[in-house]
Amino acid sequence: MAQEVTVGVGGAAGDGIDKTGDTFARAYARLGLHMYAYNSYQSVIRGGHIWLRIRAAEEKVYSPGDQLNAMIALNQDTIDQHAAEVNEHGVIIYNGDKLHVDESVFKPGVRAVPIPIKDLMKTVADRYGVRLDTVMQNTVLLGALIWLLQLDLETLNKMYEEIFARKGQAVISQNVDLALAGYEYAKANHPAMDYRWTYSRKSRPVLTGNETIGIGALMAGCRFYSAYPMTPASSLLHFMASHAAEYGVCVKQAEDELAVVNMAIGAGHVGVRAMCGTSGGGYALMTEAIGMAGMAEVPVVILEVQRGGPSTGLPTKTEQGDLNQVFGASQGEYPRMIVAPADLVDTYNTTVEAFQMAEKYQLPVTIISDLLLSEHNETADPEAFDFNVTIDRGELAEPNENGNGEYKRYLVTESGISPRSLPGDAGNMFVGASDEHDERSILISDVYTDPLMRIKMMQKRMRKLEGLLRNLPAPTLHGPADADITFISWGSTQGVIWDAIALLAQEGIKTNNLQIKYLVPFHTDEVATILNSCKLKVLVEQNFTGQLGRHIRAETGISPDATILKYDGEPMEPLYIVNHVKEILNGTSRNGR
C-alpha cells in the first residue's frame, strides 16, 4: 500500500511553525511526495495557538485526512490539546527539558520522544562559538522527526543550503548540524517507525490557492489589483504586492472595500485588466458597485475568500457561508459570472478564465473561494498549469479619427456584446452610465424615460449570459456512473469528498461526486439531467443551511435526499463524510447537521 504520514506541529505564534512546516513540505515535495498542509489557529488559547497539520503521501491526497501519526510539540498547550489524538504507534516529539507528557491519555503504542534540546543545542553552539536562537530548536526536533519517519536527511540539508544561502556558510552548517544532532539523538534512543518510502523524485511546487490565483492573474495580464486587508484574502495582496514592480502591476491598498472595488472598476473602464480581493465582510461593502459594473458593462474580477460568518464571525476559520450573499449582491438584475474553483490548479484556470470572460462579456466576475482553499499549502503537478494563455480582449471598437458622435457604446447586438472603446481612443467618446441608458449611453432614467428602450437594453445585457453559458463546460460526475450515492458540492469540499469516495469504495460503498463550478450562469438542463439519474443525492457543504442545495432547487426543482453540513470552522475530514454516509444508509440520519 502507498505510504503516507500526517505530522502535526503545534506551538505559539512566533514559534516559527510556518517556516518549519514549509521547510519540511518543500524538502520532501522535491523527493516526489505529495503534500497537503493546513494551518489552524486556535485563537481560544492565549498567545495564539497554531496547529499545523502536514499530510505527506506517495500518492495524491486531496484533503488534510483523518490521521495524526507524529507530532512536534513546541509548547505544553500542544501536548495537552493534541496528545490524545495521535494515532496508535505514533510519536510525540518535544523539548524534554521543558515540556512533559501524560502517557495515560495516549492511544496504544504511542511513544513519547523527549529531546534534550539544551544539551544538543549547546554542543552545536560551542562548536561555532555562537549563541543560537531558541527557535532553532525546531531544526533539532525536525531532525528527530526525519529519523523516526525514516525520511532522507540529506534532502533537508540541501534545503537549508538554499534557504540560508544568503546568510552564509556558518548559518547553513549550524542548521545542518542541529538537524543531525536531533536525528542522531533519536536514532540512538528511539527505534524508527515502520515507514519505507519510495521516492518518485518528481519535484513539485508547494503553494496556496491565493498564490495560484495570483499566478493566474499575472498570466492573464492583470495590471491592477486593489484590496483592503482582510483574512483570508490578504495573502493575495501580499503576493501581488511582492510581484508588482517586476510584472508591472499597480497594486493599491485602498481606504476601504468601497474604494477597492470602485478603483478596480475605474481601471477596467480605461482598459486595464483589473481585479480586487476580499472576504465576506468586504464583499458586502462592494455590492452596490458590482451592480454598477453589470449596468455600465465594465469588466472586473472580484475574489471573495470566505471565512466563518456571520459578521466578523470566525476570522481565521473556514466556511462556505457566503454563496447567498454573492447571489444577492446589488440591487436589480444584471449579468455577472459567479464561479467557484475546487483545487489549486482549478483556482489558476478559473482566474485566467475569469479575466477572459470579464472582458469578452463585459461584466463582473466573482470568484468565490474559502479559507481552506486559499490558505492551505499543497503540492501540484507543474505541468498541470497551462501557461500558454492567449489573451482574448473581446470585441473592441476601432478608433475613428473622424468619429462624430455616432459611436454606440451600448449597441444592441444579437450576442448582447457591444464593441468597447477605451478612453484615449480617437472619436469614440462615451460616458459609462450606472443609470439606465440608450445605445449611445444617453440616460433614459427619468426625464427621458423610454420604456421600450429600457426593455431593449435590459434584454441586451442579459442576453450576454446565454453566450457566456455556452462558453463554460457543463459539470460531469466524478467517480462510477452507477454509484449508489452522489455527493453534490461546490468549492473546496471537492477534495475531502474525493478522499471519502476512496475510503467508501474500500468498504464496498460506491459513491460519486457532482461538483458545481459555475454558479451563475447555471447549467440548469445538464445538472437536472445528471441529478435525475442519481440514486441517493447527498448535499455536502461547509455551512448551516445548504446554500448550494437551495440554488439547485431554485434552478432545477430538484432537492437533495440528505445533507452533510458542517459549520464549526474546521475543514471536513474524510471520516466525517464516511460516518455520515453510514448513518444515512442506516436511516439514522437524513441530515448531517
Asked if 329 touches other proteins (CB under 8 A), the answer is no
110 binds other proteins (CB under 8 A): no
Task: Tell me the closest approach of the beta carbon of residue 382 to other proteins, in angstroms.
Answer: 5
Beta-strand relationship, 337-339 and 562-565: unpaired
CA–CA dist 444, 440 (Å, integer) = 11
Q: List the one residue from 1, 188, 245, 452 that touches other proteins (CB under 8 A).
A: 245
Contact 180, 160 (CB under 8 A): no
Q: Which residue has the cell 481552506?
A: 372
Return the DSSP state at 386. Answer: -
Residue 336 neighbours by CB under 8 Å, 6+ apart: 290, 293, 294, 329, 363, 364, 365, 366, 520
528 binds other proteins (CB under 8 A): no
382 near other proteins, rule: CB under 8 A: yes
Q: Which stretch binds other proteins (CB under 8 A): 68-76, 151-159, 332-340, 379-387?
A: 379-387
Q: Which stretch binds other proteins (CB under 8 A): 256-264, 304-312, 456-464, 570-578?
A: 256-264
The answer to the question of residue 405 lying near other proteins (CB under 8 A) is yes
Candidate list 161, 425, 450, 484; residue touching other proteins; CB under 8 A: 425
Phi-psi region of 279 (alpha: psi -120 to 50; beta: other; left: phi over 0): beta
All 3 cell numbers of residue 324? 447567498
Least separation, in Å, of the C-beta of 348 and other proteins? Answer: 9
Looking at 387, 449, 532, 554, which residue binds other proteins (CB under 8 A)?
A: 387
Are the beta carbons of 264 and 223 closer than 8 angstroms? no
The reply on whether position 72 binds other proteins by CB under 8 A is: no
Question: Are the C-beta atoms of 409 and 420 separated by less than 8 Å?
Answer: yes
Q: Does 393 bind other proteins (CB under 8 A)?
A: yes
Q: Please check whether residue 10 is in contact with residue 72, taking contact to mean a CB–CB distance below 8 angstroms.
A: yes
Is 26 a binder of other proteins (CB under 8 A)?
A: yes
Query: Between residue 212 and residue 231, which ones bind other proteins under the rule CB under 8 A?
Result: 215, 218-221, 223-224, 226
Q: Select the span of 1-9, 123-131, 243-251, 477-485 touching other proteins (CB under 8 A).
A: 243-251
The strand pairing partners of 95, in sequence order, are: 115
Applying the rule CB under 8 A, the residues between 434 and 463 that interact with other proteins are: 434-435, 440, 442-443, 447
Residues numbered 263 to 302 that lie near other proteins (CB under 8 A) are 263-274, 288-289, 292, 296
Binders of other proteins in range 484-513 (CB under 8 A): none
* Interface with other proteins: number of residues (CB under 8 A): 73
Q: Quickly list DSSP for 478-539.
A: ES-TT-SEEEEE-TTHHHHHHHHHHHHHHTT--EEEEE--EEES--HHHHHHHHHT-SEEEE
Grid coordinates belonging to 207: 503553494
Q: How far is the CB of 59 from other proteins (least distance, A)?
A: 20
Instruction: Report the greatest alpha carbon distance in the chain.
Output: 89
Closest separation in Å from C-beta 26 to other proteins: 7
- Is 427 an interacting residue with respect to other proteins (CB under 8 A)? yes
Nearer to other proteins, 408 or 517 (CB): 408
Would you count residue 373 as binding other proteins (CB under 8 A)? no
Q: Which is nearer to other proteins, 434 or 559 (CB)?
A: 434
**Residue 411 lies near other proteins (rule: CB under 8 A):** no
Pick from 104, 311, 388, 506 the residue near other proteins by CB under 8 A.
Answer: 388
The candidate with the shortest Cα–Cα distance to 408, out of 381, 382, 429, 435, is 429
Query: If DSSP codes are grouped into helix, strand and coil, which group holds residue 439?
Result: coil
User: CB of 489 within 8 A of CB of 564?
Assistant: no
